[in-house]
């Protein structure tokens, strides 16, 4: 198996053309980023509203758990049969998959904000919108971005189902390799998917460190030390 994997990666034919690694990686990345943007547009505002107002928290958690229970492959297949369009089916399926972790991270982030801090801001005369964007969101940012990172990892792993309904991406190596019993190609597809997930997580971790205020990072580190102690 190791020899087959090495042969696959060292073959120049697998790095060129429409079926080459660069093309497949870009396709896979395109599905992930599009689904992430659409899911964020839906989930972040809802999470901010519910976390800020406290209204609908039970419904949000319950609906999130229901969505998590949906089988992605079955959902994509059903949507493909419904719309007869592989692009639409795959993207909707991935968006549905990405919404719960982003929604949960956003809601949990705002709920974790110390209410004494919010009350103090209110006592200073800050309105609801000002408290949300100037106090609550910066403090909640680590959990919000943590939800986004979680969604990205799930999307990278699950975007392979797009190949099941005829799309490209790294999932093609898995399905095409299985079809011809080329296990080197199957393993290569799995390795590339894992590497893409690792690279994206490192990039997002760097972005998270740059966006989260230093004071929030220090407070978070202090809390972790207290818990460990």
pLDDT mean across residues, the chain: 83
Contacts of 36 (CB under 8 A, 6+ apart): 98, 148, 151, 152, 155
- Is residue 183 helix, strand or coil? helix
What DSSP letter does each residue of 63-122 carry, written as one string?
A: HHHHHHHS-HHHHHHHHHHHH--HHHHHHHHHHHHHHHHHHHHHHHHHHTS-HHHHHHHH
CA–CA dist 12, 10 (Å, integer): 6
pLDDT at 222 (0 to 100): 53
Q: What is the pLDDT of residue 157?
A: 86
Residue range 2-12+21-228 in CATH 3.40.50.620: no
| Predicted confidence (pLDDT) at residue 5 exceeds the cutoff of 80 | yes
The pLDDT of 23-35, averaged and rounded, is 92
| Residue 26 pLDDT grade (very low, low, confident, very high; cuts 50, 70, 90) | very high
| DSSP state at residue 135 | I
And the tokens for 229? 């102690």
pLDDT in tens, 150-163: 999 989 988 887 78
Tens of pLDDT, residues 179-201: 888 888 899 999 999 999 999 99
Q: What is the pLDDT of residue 11?
A: 86
């Amino acid at each position: 198996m190791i020899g087959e994997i090495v042969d696959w990666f060292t073959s120049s034919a697998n790095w060129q053309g429409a079926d080459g690694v660069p093309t497949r990686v870009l396709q896979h990345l395109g599905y992930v980023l599009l689904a992430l943007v659409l899911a964020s547009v839906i989930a972040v505002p809802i999470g901010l509203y519910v976390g800020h107002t406290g209204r609908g928290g039970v419904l949000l958690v319950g609906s999130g758990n229901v969505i998590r229970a949906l089988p992605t492959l079955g959902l994509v297949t059903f949507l493909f049969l419904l719309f007869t369009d592989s692009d639409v089916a795959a993207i909707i399926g991935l968006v549905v998959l990405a919404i719960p972790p982003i929604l949960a991270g956003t809601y949990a982030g705002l709920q974790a904000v110390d209410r004494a801090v919010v009350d103090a801001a209110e006592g200073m005369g800050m309105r609801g919108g000002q408290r949300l964007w100037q106090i609550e969101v910066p403090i909640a940012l680590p959990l919000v971005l943590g939800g986004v990172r979680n969604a990205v990892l799930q999307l990278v792993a699950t975007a392979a189902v797009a190949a099941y309904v005829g799309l490209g991406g790294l999932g093609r190596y898995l399905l095409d390799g299985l079809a011809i019993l080329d296990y080197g190609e199957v393993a290569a597809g799995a390795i590339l998917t894992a590497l893409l997930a690792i690279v994206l997580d490192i990039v997002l971790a760097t972005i998270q460190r740059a966006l989260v205020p230093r004071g929030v990072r220090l407070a978070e580190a202090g809390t972790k030390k207290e818990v460990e102690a």
